[in-house]
Amino acid sequence: MRVVAVTKGFGTAVIREASAAGLGRFGENRVQEAIPKIAAAPDAEWHLVGRLQANKARPAVRGFAAIHSVDSLDLLGRLDRIAAEESRAPVTFLQVNVTGEATKSGFPLDWFAEAVRRPGPLSAAIAGLAAVRLSGLMTIGPAGATSEASRHAFATLRRLRDELQQLAGHRLPELSMGMTADADAAVAEGATLVRIGTAIFGPRLG
């Protein structure tokens, strides 16, 4: 399990301090906010963990080693085309909205659960990838939930990943799930990347 230190709301001075202290993997929610931070710590591994608008796909491909928030097949295809043009190969995750909460992005759970069971648009899109590297799935756990409810959501994502592996015919080793409040539940259900902000940096400044 690896930690992505989420720096949303913190400035470049904090990034430099964290980098000097030994942190080397950072996460940002917005492409524009990330650009000066990436410049401040160019040797770090940068992950986009927030929603990605299609018109920000090119700077995202240029700046991030990993994009966790791919929430449509159109966006996946767009990222793949841009990555090929930019000679980049970012790691990507498909985000699934396992809780069904309207405030959360991601593929709808019902659609995704059906799509991983048989060949169709999802499997075709994955088979057609030429540049980006699909590495696994991502989700955001239920807000304010008990540990049991969080574990249920994360277990759902793990099962979907296992089914998608079989459908796609290659390993998808990563599960990006869990934040400060529910990291323990996520790790218990197999998270390989947890996105931690508050527990590292304290309350967000903005």
Tens-place pLDDT, residues 99-153: 999 999 999 999 999 999 999 999 999 999 999 999 999 999 999 889 999 999 9
Tell me which CATH code domain 2-201 carries: 3.20.20.10
User: Mean pLDDT across the chain, nearest whole number?
Assistant: 96
What is the distance between the alpha carbons of residues 165 and 184, in angstroms, rounded to a whole number?
Answer: 25
pLDDT confidence of residue 204: 72
Q: What is the pTM of this model?
A: 0.96
Amino acid occupying residue 205? L
Q: Where are the domains of the chain?
A: 2-201
Radius of gyration of the chain (CA): 16
pLDDT confidence of residue 205: 56
Alpha helices by DSSP H, listed for the chain, are: 12-20, 31-40, 57-63, 73-86, 109-115, 121-127, 147-168, 183-188, 198-201
Buried b (16+ CB within 10 A) or exposed e, 72-83: bbebbebbbbbb
Q: Is 92 helix (H, G, I), strand (E, B) or coil?
A: strand
